[in-house]
Structure 1
Amino acid sequence: MTTSRTTVLITGANQGLGAETAARLAERGWTVWLGARDTARGESAAKEILDARPDADVRVVQLDVTSDESVAAAYDEVVRAGTGLDVLVNNAGINSTRALPADTRPADFLPVFGVNLLGPVRVTNAFLPLLERSPRPRLVMVSSGLGSFAVTQDRSRRESTIWGIVYPSSKAALNMVTTMYAKSLPGVRVTAVDPGYTATSLNDFSGVQTVPEGAEPIIEACVADELPGGFIGRDGVVPW
């Protein structure tokens, strides 16, 4: 059975920006696939949405972006449900060691790149056949201003004070991947998003923005008919 609702899959959607994005899109009447590595936490996040909006169509799918088997099983579950897929939001991400570059070791990169870069590639490659069947397919990569060469070199920006190399380089690589998907998939609108410095567990809740504020550009990338550029934040275009 198919549905006429717009359908979105959000990875890492059991907390923070992912959960907020899921709630906001559910409010719009979308079918929301809430991807979560831990299904119990995913069910808890879905319950919060349904408690506030009982008529919402929110579905939890177990999805570990580091596992080929988990992603393939999630794809099969979405296909079996017959909801289709219009928007894919690659939101799942982890932080890294805050060590100075001279104290950073190659092994420090592996888990972070595994989630922040290879995760979006794995999920996108798996779900692309389903996404391309949509009349208006959209692919959203949740990146960071820390992945922007221009932003991190701008001394007026907070990002220029960060010295760690693992997390920023994972997001810089994600930005390049985003541009390549955009060039090679002309039928899919591909957007990178900088939520800004948002108070989430990723930064031990030290961010200066609220989660609803941080989710704003993610929502815009999902719903807006027109966007100002391929990399956006709350204040418009973010330079690559």
Structure 2
Amino acid sequence: MAGEKIPRWLKSFLFEADLAHIEAAVREFESRVSAEIVPMIVRRSSVIGHLPLTITLILSLTLLIVLWPFHDWVSAHDGALYVPLAMLFFALISFPLSRSHRLQRLLIPDMDEELQVRRRAWSEFMALKMTRTEERRGLLLFVSLMERKVVLLHDEGLAGIVQPADVDAWVSDLARRLKNESWGVALTQGIRQIGESLQKPLPRQAGLTDELGNHLQIKE
């Protein structure tokens, strides 16, 4: 989304000025390390098409449970008409309710979120052609907003240099920062932290070209 405005769904988390700071952090990273890093934020990774039905069923079941002790009274007062109307109402409001990030996180199991976020991250990693750089040293710093999850992927040229423990530490630290700080500051500091960790084992070499760009990638 280079040169584009921040989308509405991200404006509560990121400001226009943050884009320049993040890009500067990427440039600083690549001036110190023989690798390239691409930060990315997506609106969500999880499938939510089933949520309206789930919400409708939950609300309808709750209504039936609440009314069950009073079923004689309900039957005597035309409840057979009003209960289906209530369920129809639940079906109508389920669509706007399903757009709530809080409800999405509540209704989608954490294991499913983890799987779908990682799958989306790998999809974006391949879409960016990060495996086609000359040195095969690309890193994708991926954040999925709805799930509030972070994934860090790297190409084979960083195998043996970037250890799983390093990835876990960087991801945990960035997730904590995203929760407690502005996202612009969190991403900027997260990129710098990774750069500082890699500068010694992988110092910048002369003659390397920028193959992946420096701006923050923003996608739905």
Say whether the fold is shared (TM-score over 0.5).
no
1 or 2, which has the higher helix percentage? Answer: 2
TM range (shorter): 0.3 to 0.5
TM-score normalised by structure 1 residue count: 0.33
Q: Which has the larger radius of gyration?
A: 2
Q: Which protein, 1 or 2, shows the higher relative CO under an 8 Å CA cutoff with sep ≥ 6? A: 2
TM-score normalised by structure 2 residue count: 0.35
